[in-house]
Amino acid sequence: MMDLQLPAWATWVMLAGLAVFLAMMILFIRRNHGMKRSLFASPYALWMAIFTILPCILIGYYALTDASGKFTLDNFRHFWDSNYAKNQLYATMGEAAAPFIKRGTVNVDTLIYSLWMAFLCTVICLVIGYPAALFMADRQMKLGATLVVLFIIPMWMNFLLRTIAWMSLLEDQGLINRVLRFLGFEGVQLMYNSGAVLLGMVYNFLPFMVFPIYNSLNKMDPKLHEAAQDLGCNNWKTLYKVTMPLSLPGVISGITMVFMPSVTTFFLPRILGGGNTMMFGDLIESKFLTEGNWNVGSALSLIMMILIMISLGILRKADPEGEGGSMI
Partner 1 sequence: MKKFLSLVLLVMLLIPAFAQAEGTVTVFNWQDYIDESVIEDFEKETGIKVNYVRFTTNEDMMVQVDANPGHFDLCFPSEYIVERMISQDMLSEINYDHIPNAKYILENLQNSTYDPGNAHSVPYMWGTVGILYNTKLVSDPVDSWGILWNPKYMKNVFMLDSYRDSMGVSLKSLGYSMNSENILELEMAKEKLLEQKRIGTLKAYQVDETKDKMVSGEAALAVMWSGDALYAMDLNEDLAYAVPNEGSNVWVDCMVIPKNAKNKENAEKFIDFLCRPDIAQRNCEYIWYSSPNSGAIALMGEDYISNPAINPSEETLARCEFFRDIKEPYRSIYVTLFEEVKSAK
Partner 2 sequence: MSKFIRFIKKSYLALILLFLYLPIGVLIVQSFNAGKSRAKWEGFSLHWYADLFKDRAIMEALQVTLGVAVIAAIVSTVLGTLAAIGIHSMKKRPQAFMMTLTNIPNTMPDIVTGISLMLLFIFTKVERGFVTMLLAHITFDVPYVILSVLPKLKQMNKHSYEAALDLGAPPVYALFHVILPEIMPGVITGAMLAFTLSLDDFVISYFTTSPLVQNLSTLIYSAARRGIEPTLNALSALMFIALLILLLIVNRRTADNSKKA
Range 149-208, binding partner 2 (CB under 8 A): 149-151, 153-162, 164-169, 171, 173-175, 178, 203, 206-207
Which of partner 2, partner 1, none does 90 bind, CB closer than 5 to 8 A by kind? partner 1
* DSSP letters for 263-318: HT--SHHHHTSTTSS--HHHHHHHHHHTS--HHHHHHHHHHHHHHHHHHHHHHHHH
**Residue of the chain from 37, 70, 142, 317 that contacts partner 2 (CB under 8 A):** 37
- Residue closer to partner 2, measured from CB, 84 or 166: 166
| 156 DSSP assignment | G
Regarding 72 and contact with partner 1 (CB under 8 A), the answer is no
How many C-beta atoms surround the C-beta of residue 279 within 10 A?
Answer: 28
Which of partner 2, partner 1, none does 276 bind, CB closer than 5 to 8 A by kind? partner 1
Regarding 22 and contact with partner 1 (CB under 8 A), the answer is no
Distance, in Å, from the CA atom of 169 to the CA atom of 272, rounded to the nearest integer, reads: 11
Instruction: Give Cα separations from 307 to 33, 278, 301, 302 (angstroms).
Output: 47, 18, 10, 9
Regarding 109 and contact with partner 1 (CB under 8 A), the answer is yes
- Residue closer to partner 1, measured from CB, 96 or 183: 96
Regarding 66 and contact with partner 2 (CB under 8 A), the answer is no
What's the helix, strand, coil split of the chain in %, to 5?
Answer: 70, 0, 30
What are the counts of helices (DSSP H) followed by strands (DSSP E) for the chain? 17, 0
Q: Please count the CA atoms within 13 angstroms of the CA of 52 that sit on its side-chain side.
A: 6
Which of partner 1, partner 2, none does 131 bind, CB closer than 5 to 8 A by kind? partner 2
**Between 80 and 99, how does the x/- string for binding to partner 1 read (CB under 8 A)?**
--xx-xx--xx--x--xx--
Distance, in Å, from the CA atom of 165 to the CA atom of 4, rounded to the nearest integer, reads: 45
Regarding 35 and contact with partner 2 (CB under 8 A), the answer is yes
- Positions in the binding site for partner 1 (CB under 8 A): 1, 82-83, 85-86, 89-90, 93, 96-97, 100, 104, 106, 109-110, 113, 171-173, 189, 192, 270, 274-278, 283, 286, 288-292
